[in-house]
Amino acid sequence: MFHSMIDIEALKKNHKTQYLAEQYERLLQQEKETQLMIENDPSMAEMAQEELSAIAIQKSALEEQFAAIEASEKEEGEFPNEIILEARAGAGGDEASLFAQQLVDMYCRYAEARGWQWKMIDDMTVEIKGKDVYRLLRYETGVHRVQRVPVTEKNGRIHTSTASIAILPMKKKVKFEINPADLDMEYSRSGGAGGQNVNKVETAVRLIHKPTGIDVRSTSERSQLANREKAFEILTAKLQQLKEEEEAAKYAGNRKSQIGTADRSEKIRTYNFPQDRVTDHRIKQNFSNIEVIMLGKIDKMIDALQVGEVGEGSVVERCPDKTEALGPIPSTRTTP
The pLDDT of residue 276 is: 96
Q: What is the DSSP letter of 315?
A: B
Task: Classify the C-alpha dihedral 94-188-185-84 as positive or negative.
Answer: negative
The full DSSP string for 260-278 is ----TTSEEEEEETTTTEE
Return the percentage of the chain with pLDDT > 90, whole number: 29
Question: What's the pLDDT tens digit per position in 310-324?
Answer: 665 544 444 444 433
Instruction: Give pTM, 2 decimals.
Output: 0.63
Spell out the domains of the chain, with CATH numbers in brackets: 2-77 (no CATH), 79-252+259-307 (3.30.70.1660)
How many Cβ atoms sit within 10 Å of the Cβ of residue 147?
15
- Helices then strands (H, E): number in the chain? 9, 11
> 149 vs 133, 153, 159, 164, 293, CA distance in Å?
33, 6, 6, 20, 18
**Sites in the chain below the pLDDT cut of 70:** 1-4, 71-79, 172-176, 190-201, 247-265, 309-336
The pLDDT of residue 4 is: 45
For residues 4 and 58, what is the distance between their CA atoms, to the nearest angstrom?
A: 16
Cβ within 8 Å of residue 154, ≥6 positions away: none
Contact yes or no for 307/280 (Cβ under 8 A)? no
Question: What's the pLDDT tens digit per position in 255-299?
Answer: 343 444 444 567 899 999 999 999 999 999 999 999 999 999 999
